[in-house]
Structure 1
Amino acid sequence: MTHNAVSRTTEFVYESLPTRVIFGSGTLNNVEQEAKRLGMSRILLLCGQPHESVTSSIAKSLGDIYGATFLGARMHTPVNVTEEAMALVKTSQIDGIVSIGGGSTTGLSKAIALRTDLPQIILPTTYAGSEMTPILGETDNGIKTTQRSPKVLPETVIYDVELTLDLPPAIAGVSGMNAVAHAVEALYSRDANPVISALAIESVAALLRSLPRIRNEMHDLGARSDALYGAWLAGICLGSVGMALHHKLCHTLGGMFDLPHAETHAALLPHVLAYNSPAIPEVMQRLSHSLGVDDPALHLYRVNQAIGATPALADIGMPEDGIERATDLALANPYWNPRPLERHAIRDLLARAYRGDEPKP
């Protein structure tokens, strides 16, 4: 069998991103030590309502280096929310950020860091993976734009498996499939390389074996650990190579219709992989071998069913007339993809995802 990575070993570029990672159970206890190591003396805590009690506990442990707490993070990192948080940064004389939560909270932390270059400590509670990337997506007036900057890359990420144990299985499932999307698209990225391809295959395998187990037993510590490990690897993939059609479509739909981020990734992933499959036979072969399946795209669709992820974009808020609008916007600015961007085929892809049909090339 010929692996996709093998064909790229003669020439590639690999950049290792300098984030410090602490992984395990009970690693939450490292926050104060890490904050002091980074020179923080006036900390802003970011969190969502589900993690308010954990955040309050962290605030007490920080003592006199605690500055303030902001609870208003929202999906897709709206610029107006960032401006609210920035006002608190200024009035409280903040010099460091500790973020506890999923992709929305991480996104807000990174948006603040972009504007201030403040150091960040991120404690993920989902499998979003954005904590491992120098990438920030922000939404303003319904348009989501993405940029890369070393300013937004967190200095430390603390993975504490115990922080994920109460993540409901339905949310864990779609969050995990969001991470799978990062790894799958990294396999056929224009700047894929052997290191990232190896991490991506490991990530996909770890996530797809753990997510159905979490669905059946939400407090399975081994499955939770595997999922968080897979999400970490997927985040490295997302931050190290460029993405293509899948992420473009997800950002387009999320920005236009305010669709839930992870659910959108989960629903679209099988369809985009099927669309690209004729142009990436080595990647499809490698995924088939790793997962022990004949059709990786159909397998992803069935995993979505097994974990309770909604297959139809219609069920998470996309209007039917959005198919045409999203197709036009997705094609408005050219970008790289292994298969050429064909309007009728992309429209058909979105229509199938809208209805929740099985994926087709």
Structure 2
Amino acid sequence: MTATPTSAPVGEADIPAATRVRYGPGTLYSAVPAEVEAMGASRAFVITGRTLGAHAQVGELKLRLGDRLAGHFAGMGEHSPRSTVLAAAAAAREAGADCLIGIGGGSAIIGTKGVALILGEGDDLDALRADYDYRTQKITVPSLTNRKPPVIAVPTTLTSGEFSSAMGITDDATGAKDIFIDPGVVPRVIVLDPVLAAETPARLWASTGVKALQNAIERFYAKNANPFIEGTCLEAIAIVFRDLVPSLADPQDIAARGRLQFLNWMTAFGAGKGGIGLGHGICHQLGAVSHIPHGISGGIVLPHMMRFNRPDTLARQRRIATAMGIRDAASDTEASERAEARVRALVADLGLPATLSAVGVQRADLPKVAELTLRDRTLAPTPRPPRDAAQVLALLEEMY
């Protein structure tokens, strides 16, 4: 007789309001102008970082947009600084933008969503941000219902901001990464072009692959995980360990790059409300305070988080180990330990740093990072909530 489960999953998941995902070689040119036309937009405004802004493929896209191109802001900085997002929004407003096209890594995509937020809700970002109280584990999100210009996202790295209603924008004045949540800024169309992604620098591609792995692992064992998230995250873990290293050995392996681009979709779509875990909160604030890219900090933080969460996620970490190809462990504990070791080995094989000191984080900044982490809304579903800032600081010291 089959045992009857004593409980069923209970929760809530956000389903992004994207209309479609266009994927495959050449979709930068075949899909983006067509989608702008289909939206009825006549003032498309492109947002990129400085390096990609001068790239030949972006220049060709602008030519193909023709009279529908309203302008191009090519100065979005790392971690989407508030001042830069406001400047981009002012430029888009001046250009009369009725559609935004974000092209690039996570900062460019998040920054583009931030521009959409500002164009719809105004420049007072302090009034728009989401707040989190770690003591009550409660998130307060303002009601943001004004119409936003539609966004087309063309990611060139393996981050997942294009499939999320959340954005992390760094406050230049306080050094904190503030979180904003608005379903109205979810990109209407996401374009995954592995030919454009083949131009992404190796270290950036590798580090964002590790961030995608962190997304998958933290979402899989988060308190608000459900069978849908579990299935997509386990497959994402398998793809990272199968395809990431080969895609770096041969950047023109378009098939591997194309499969990896699905990580963004697989680790974010249908995720529960409220973020994913303590590791992400730490990475957000390391980025804001110490200007460390999330992919780099993710490779440092993830193994420590797996160890920290082990007491509360042991059986789940065995399933993670199985997705990595570890199928002969004698116990859940052995499987979990070997999974952690495989993450550390992957980071080393990719040539990425393993400690905070190796990337120039100042020990004197760790208490600030710990304090800011506690207000980061991504902590909400973490399986083992930190007691206080002192416990987070102790973890940071282990990573140092």
Would the TM-score normalized by the shorter structure come out above 0.5?
yes
Q: 1:270-349 counterparts in 2 under 5 A?
A: 270-293=303-326, 294=335, 295-331=338-374, 335-336=379-380, 337-342=382-387, 345-349=391-395
Q: Does 1:248 align with 2:281?
A: yes
Are the counterparts in 2 of residues 136 and 152 from structure 1 also a CA contact under 8 Å?
A: no
Select 1:166's aligned residue among 191, 194, 199.
199
Distance 1:36 1:161, change over 3 A: same
Whole-Å Cα distance in 2 between the matches of residues 11 and 100 of structure 1? Answer: 36
Whole-Å Cα distance in 2 between the matches of residues 240 and 203 of structure 1? Answer: 20
Distance 1:217 1:109, change over 3 A: same
Whole-Å Cα distance in 1 between the matches of residues 254 and 90 of structure 2? Answer: 40
Whole-Å Cα distance in 2 between the matches of residues 273 and 7 of structure 1? Answer: 28
Distance 1:324 1:49, change over 3 A: closer
Select 1:84's aligned residue among 83, 87, 101.
87
Q: Which amino acid aligns with 2:106?
A: G
Select 2:245's aligned residue among 212, 218, 226.
212
Shift in Å at residue 149 of structure 1?
Answer: 0.8
Shift in Å at residue 7 of structure 1?
Answer: 8.5
Distance 1:248 1:161, change over 3 A: same
Shift in Å at residue 194 of structure 1?
Answer: 0.6
Distance 1:83 1:177, change over 3 A: same
Shift in Å at residue 332 of structure 1?
Answer: 5.9
Shift in Å at residue 96 of structure 1?
Answer: 0.6
User: Secondary structure, in 3 states, of the residue corresponding to 1:280?
Assistant: helix
User: Secondary structure, in 3 states, of the residue corresponding to 2:22?
Assistant: strand
Specify the alignment match of 1:154 in structure 2: 187
User: Secondary structure, in 3 states, of the residue corresponding to 1:121?
Assistant: strand
Shift in Å at residue 270 of structure 1?
Answer: 1.3
Whole-Å Cα distance in 1 between the matches of residues 258 and 264 of structure 2? Answer: 10
Shift in Å at residue 205 of structure 1?
Answer: 1.0
Q: Which amino acid aligns with 1:243?
A: I
Whole-Å Cα distance in 2 between the matches of residues 320 and 331 of structure 1? Answer: 18
Shift in Å at residue 326 of structure 1?
Answer: 2.3
Shift in Å at residue 145 of structure 1?
Answer: 1.0
Q: Which runs of 5+ in 1 are unaligned?
A: 1-5, 355-361
Specify the alignment match of 1:40 in structure 2: 41
Deviation string 1:64-110 (CA, Å, 9 cap, x unpaired) is 11110100101121111112112211221111111111111101110
Deviation string 1:154-204 (CA, Å, 9 cap, x unpaired) is 000000111111222222110111111111111122221111111111111
Deviation string 1:284-325 (CA, Å, 9 cap, x unpaired) is 011112212332222111110111111122222310222333
Q: Which amino acid aligns with 1:87?
A: A
Q: 1:59-98 counterparts in 2 under 5 A?
A: 59-98=62-101
Q: Which amino acid aligns with 1:58?
A: L
User: Secondary structure, in 3 states, of the residue corresponding to 1:250?
Assistant: helix
Q: Which amino acid aligns with 1:272?
A: M
Q: 1:84-123 counterparts in 2 under 5 A?
A: 84-116=87-119, 117-123=148-154
Specify the alignment match of 1:358 in structure 2: none
Shift in Å at residue 345 of structure 1?
Answer: 4.8
Figure out how many residues of one structure are paired with residues of the other and give that number.
349
Specify the alignment match of 1:13 in structure 2: 12
Distance 1:26 1:275, change over 3 A: same
Q: Which amino acid aligns with 1:115?
A: I
Q: Which amino acid aligns with 1:32?
A: P
Q: Does 1:257 align with 2:290?
A: yes
Q: Which amino acid aligns with 1:318?
A: V
Q: Does 1:24 align with 2:57?
A: no
Shift in Å at residue 10 of structure 1?
Answer: 4.5
Whole-Å Cα distance in 2 between the matches of residues 167 and 32 of structure 1? Answer: 22
Specify the alignment match of 1:138 in structure 2: 169
Are the counterparts in 2 of residues 8 and 194 from structure 1 also a CA contact under 8 Å?
A: no
Whole-Å Cα distance in 2 between the matches of residues 16 and 153 of structure 1? Answer: 10
Distance 1:239 1:76, change over 3 A: farther
Q: Which amino acid aligns with 1:123?
A: V
Are the counterparts in 2 of residues 73 and 108 from structure 1 also a CA contact under 8 Å?
A: yes
Instruction: Return 207-216 or 176-185, whichever deviates more.
Output: 207-216
Whole-Å Cα distance in 2 between the matches of residues 301 and 130 of structure 1? Answer: 25
Whole-Å Cα distance in 2 between the matches of residues 240 and 23 of structure 1? Answer: 27
Shift in Å at residue 217 of structure 1?
Answer: 2.3
Whole-Å Cα distance in 1 between the matches of residues 101 and 164 of structure 2? Answer: 16
Instruction: Return 215-224 or 116-125, whichever deviates more.
Output: 215-224
Shift in Å at residue 242 of structure 1?
Answer: 2.6
User: Secondary structure, in 3 states, of the residue corresponding to 1:285?
Assistant: helix
Q: Which runs of 5+ in 2 are unaligned?
A: 120-147, 327-334
% identical equivalent positions: 26
Distance 1:181 1:350, change over 3 A: same
What is the Cα-based RMSD across aligned positions, in Å?
2.1
Whole-Å Cα distance in 2 between the matches of residues 283 and 275 of structure 1? Answer: 14
User: Secondary structure, in 3 states, of the residue corresponding to 1:218?
Assistant: coil
User: Secondary structure, in 3 states, of the residue corresponding to 1:321?
Assistant: helix
User: Secondary structure, in 3 states, of the residue corresponding to 1:73?
Assistant: coil
Deviation string 1:340-361 (CA, Å, 9 cap, x unpaired) is 414555333212322xxxxxxx
Are the counterparts in 2 of residues 21 and 159 from structure 1 also a CA contact under 8 Å?
A: yes
TM-score (norm 2): 0.82
Distance 1:245 1:327, change over 3 A: same
